[in-house]
Structure 1
Amino acid sequence: MAQVENVTTAKPKIDGAIYSAPKGTTLPTDAKTALDPAFKPLGYISEDGLTNSNSPKSDGIKAWGGDTVATVQTEKENTYSYTLIESLNINVLKEAYGDDNVTGTLKTGITVKANSKELLEHPVVIDMTLRNGVYQRIVIEFGKVSEIGDISYTDSDAVGYEITLTALPNTNGDTALIYIVDPNAETNPGGGE
C-alpha cells in the first residue's frame, strides 16, 4: 500500500553534509554514530545539492534479423556530484588539489600547488536529514575525485569546486553503503519498532 510518509526530500545535517578522511580511517557502520575525528567537514555545498549517478550500462545482443535477444551489463559506475562553495576552507582545497598540494592557513597564508599529481582514493561520508528527522548516511570507502568542473571567479557567484567523486568498490564489491535510521523512534522491548 502506498504511504505518503515514505515520500521525502533531503537536506544537509546542521553541521554539514560531506566529510573527507585519509585512507585507512575507521568507517561508520550506521547512520547516527559520531564520525571518527579524522573526517573533516567540507562545508557548504551549492543549492543544487548532491546528485548520485548509479545506472548500469548495457550492450544488446542481437539475433540474425535484428531482434535484441539479450543484454549484457558492461559497467555500473557509481558517482556523486556536488559543488563545494567554501573555497577558503583548507579541507575543500585539499579535496580539490590533494593533501600534499595545499599548505598553510588563512592567517599565515595558504599555498596551493596546481599540478598533474593524481588524487588518491579516500573515505567520504555524506550525511543528510530526510523527512521527520530521519538520518541517511552514505559511506564511500574508496572515493576518488575523478573530475573537477571549471572554476569561475565572478562578483555574482560563489567560487566553487564542482566535484565528481567516483565510488570505487571495496573488497566486497560494494561502492557505497547507505544507512538510514529514525533516531527518534522508540524501540519496543519485544524487539520490534
Structure 2
Amino acid sequence: MVTIDRSSDLTTIGANGGGWVAPVGTSSPADPATQPLPPWAPLGAISDDGLKYGFDEDSQEFTPWGLTSPFRTIITKSVRTFGMTLWETSRTTVKSVMYRLDEADLTPTAGVTSYAETASPSPDRRAWWFVVMDGETLNGFYVPQGEISDRSDVTFKRDEMSGYEITITAYPDEAGNTVYHLDKLPDTPVYTGS
C-alpha cells in the first residue's frame, strides 16, 4: 500500500506579516526573523487581506506540422507583483509611496502637512521587503527595485477603513533578478520511501 507523506509543519498560512520600503540600493535584511533597521521604513498595518504575490506570464507555443500539441514553449513575459492594502494612510512613509513623494517633503508646518499631486509623475523605484509569518515559518521577499504600478480608488466612509490598495511591480536588478527569497523553514524530514 502507498503511504502518503504529509507534514503540517511544511504548510504556510499568512497568519501575520509586514512590509518595509527603502531607497533603491538598500541591502536586504539578512534574516526574515530580525527587525529591519533604517533606512528601512515600515508600511504599518496591512489589511486583513494580507499580501498577494502575483505571477503574470505569457508564453509562445511552437507546434510542428503534423502534430496537435506543441513540442516547445518559450516564456515571452514574466512579471512578479506584490499587492496589499495599506491602512495607516496618515503614516508619512505610506503617503510617500502612494503619492510618489520624498518623505522629507511631508514634514508638517504649524501642524499642517501640504503636498500636491503632479499630472506628470516621475518613476519612483524603491527597494521593498516583505515578511510572511506562520509560527516558526517565515517567508521573506526582497525586491531590490520595485515601483507601485497600480493604485486603487480610496474610499472615505463611516463603516469602512480607508486604505491605499497598491500593486508593486518588481523590476530586474543588475544581476537580472526581480525577487529574492529568504525563508526560515523547519527541517524537512528525509523521505525514506516508506
Q: CA RMSD in A?
A: 2.4
1:105 lines up with 2:98 in the alignment: no
Counterpart for residue 74 of structure 2: 72
Q: Output the TM-score relative to the length of structure 2.
A: 0.82
Distance in 2 between the 1:166 and 1:11 partners?
A: 24
Counterpart for residue 175 of structure 1: 178
Q: Output the TM-score relative to the length of structure 1.
A: 0.82
More deviation, 60-69/36-45? 60-69
The answer for unaligned runs of 5 or more in structure 1 is: 186-193
**Equivalent residue for 1:4, pick from 2, 8, 12:** 8
Q: Is the 1:148–1:164 contact (alpha carbons within 8 Å) kept by the matching residues of 2?
A: yes
Question: How many residues are treated as equivalent by the alignment?
Answer: 180
The answer for unaligned runs of 5 or more in structure 2 is: 188-194
Local SS of the residue matching 1:147? strand
Counterpart for residue 25 of structure 1: 26
More deviation, 35-44/65-74? 65-74
Residue 65 of structure 1 and its aligned partner are, at CA, apart by 6.0
Residue 182 of structure 1 and its aligned partner are, at CA, apart by 5.3
Q: Which has the larger radius of gyration?
A: 2
1:8-61 per-residue CA deviation (whole Å, 9 max, x = no partner) reads: 202334xxx010111222322332344231111111111111111125321222
- Aligned residue identity for 1:23: V
Residues 111 and 71 (structure 1), Cα distance of their counterparts in 2 relative to 1, 3 Å cut: same
Residues 114 and 29 (structure 1), Cα distance of their counterparts in 2 relative to 1, 3 Å cut: same
Counterpart for residue 188 of structure 1: none
Residue 2 of structure 1 and its aligned partner are, at CA, apart by 2.5
Counterpart for residue 57 of structure 2: 56
Counterpart for residue 81 of structure 1: 83
1:122 lines up with 2:126 in the alignment: yes
Residues 182 and 71 (structure 1), Cα distance of their counterparts in 2 relative to 1, 3 Å cut: closer
